[in-house]
């Protein structure tokens, strides 16, 4: 991501520190992609971009996640309208449909579970 790029939703950084934790969490929206960045303070951490159908949905998702972090005790430590040049994450995520399980496999697994339960209770 180029340095100085304007964001649809500002990069916001939150931190949580107590006797057992010292971690950070960041969120920003670029176009229709919400990206989160988290980890222990002082580490490179992990990134998770998530695509949405439009910018409004991406921003709504970011706001929802911010509310969740605040409810967990995170405190906001910084806000910027541009992504720092040290961040290099993909800005698009390809949609991957969930895997489906053939119905006969589900029926077979249910039958096996029933047989195991019968044997366990009959002993």
pLDDT of 103 reads 52
Positions of E strands within 18-110: 22-30, 33-40, 46-51, 75-82
Most confident of 39-48, 80-89, 102-111: 39-48
98-123 average pLDDT score: 49
Q: Decide which of 35 and 115 is more confident.
A: 35
pLDDT digits (tens, 9 = 90+) for 12-56: 999 999 999 999 999 999 889 999 999 999 999 999 999 999 999
- CA gap 31, 51 in Å, rounded: 9
pLDDT digits (tens, 9 = 90+) for 53-74: 999 999 999 999 999 999 999 9
Domains of the chain in start order, with CATH, are 6-95 (2.20.140.10)
């Amino acid at each position: 991501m180029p340095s100085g790029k304007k964001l649809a939703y500002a990069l916001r950084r939150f931190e949580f520190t107590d006797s057992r934790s010292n971690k950070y969490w960041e969120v920003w929206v670029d176009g229709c992609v919400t990206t989160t960045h988290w980890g222990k303070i002082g580490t490179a951490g992990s990134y998770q971009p998530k695509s949405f159908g439009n910018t409004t949905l991406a921003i709504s998702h970011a706001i929802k996640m911010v509310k969740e972090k605040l409810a967990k005790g995170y405190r906001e430590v910084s806000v910027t309208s541009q992504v720092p040049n040290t961040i290099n994450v993909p800005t698009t995520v390809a949609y991957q449909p969930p895997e489906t399980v053939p119905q006969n496999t589900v029926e077979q697994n249910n039958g096996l579970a029933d047989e195991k339960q019968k044997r366990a209770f009959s002993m």
